[in-house]
Amino acid sequence: MTGAPPNSAFRDEELLADVICRLIGDARHVAVGNASPIPATAALLARMRGNGRPYVSLLQSRKHNFFTDGGRELFDCAGQGRIDVFFLSGGEIDGEGNVNLVGIGDHDKPKVRFPGSFGAAYLYYVVPKVILFRTEHSRRTLVPKVDFISAPGTSPANVHRTGGPIALVTNRCLFLFDRDRRRFCLASVHPGQTVAEVLDNTGFDFDRPAHIPTTPPPAPQTLRQMREIVAPELAEVYPQFAAAVFGIDRSR
């Protein structure tokens, strides 16, 4: 594990995975979509700590994915209430938890084109705990109002909805989402960051208490669990990430 930091230090990716793991809580089933190595790390860490609970479905994995019919089975499982936690990101996220996965500018001739929504809107409605995640915390990504709503963070009172956002994790801080007030509240600021930097780099308004704690760093035991137990499993799905963050090279 030559690429891993010393035991006394931690990488940003390890801090974020630890934060997300705590948000997962006592879930029964966590599903992780494509291109989500940090949430995948968190989900596998939660499963390791819970002795096999929650069940983890990594959609890019052969070993950690029981779905055989791709997205259709995922959507059926979520609609039946059998997925407790899912993760969403987006090119833009606004203060009401709306996510833009389509593009910026005119819909027919956008200035920027994003990958597309796939099942984001549906999963946002039916999965009880959706954790938003963005590693670029800037006014370009966290905006006052998204250009296109791929997945709405909230719904009118007369719309039946069992799911929605509970938090937004970024490389600077942790926001918790108040569904009744339809706003984020700053819960903690990561080590090395300041409240002023969060304010300067966030395009939307948010609540903040008088005292805002620093996000606790991963405990030594948590780092050991991630590096020695979780990382080798993660390498099957995200070999480049496992090599860069944990120093695991499966090509040898």
- Angle at alpha carbon of residue 86, lines to 158 and 241, rounded to 5°: 155
The overall average pLDDT reported for the chain is: 92
Kindly tell me if the per-residue pLDDT of 167 is higher than 50.
Answer: yes
- Assigned domain for 220 exists: yes
- Assigned domain for 239 exists: yes
What pLDDT is attached to residue 65?
75
Kindly tell me if the per-residue pLDDT of 5 is higher than 70.
Answer: no
What pLDDT is attached to residue 1?
38
Kindly tell me if the per-residue pLDDT of 241 is higher than 90.
Answer: yes
- At 21, which helix (H) or strand (E)? helix 12-24
How many domains does the chain divide into?
1
- Assigned domain for 2 exists: no
What pLDDT is attached to residue 22?
97
For residue range 127-142, list pLDDT tens digits in order: 999 999 999 999 999 9
Q: Identify the band that residue 3 occupies on the pLDDT scale cut at 50, 70 and 90.
A: low
The better pLDDT of the pair 67, 191 is held by 191
- Assigned domain for 172 exists: yes
DSSP H helices, 119-248, are 120-126, 195-200, 220-225, 231-234, 239-246
For residue range 138-163, list pLDDT tens digits in order: 999 999 999 999 999 999 999 999 99
| Rounded average pLDDT over 174-187 | 97
- Assigned domain for 7 exists: no
Q: What is the CATH number of the domain that holds 135?
A: 3.40.1080.10
**Terminus-to-terminus CA distance in the chain, angstroms?**
13
For 77, the domain range is 12-246
205 near 95, Cβ under 8 Å? yes
- Assigned domain for 1 exists: no
What pLDDT is attached to residue 210?
95
Question: What is the CB neighbour count within 10 angstroms for residue 77?
Answer: 18
* Cross-strand partners of 29: 55
Kindly tell me if the per-residue pLDDT of 4 is higher than 70.
Answer: no
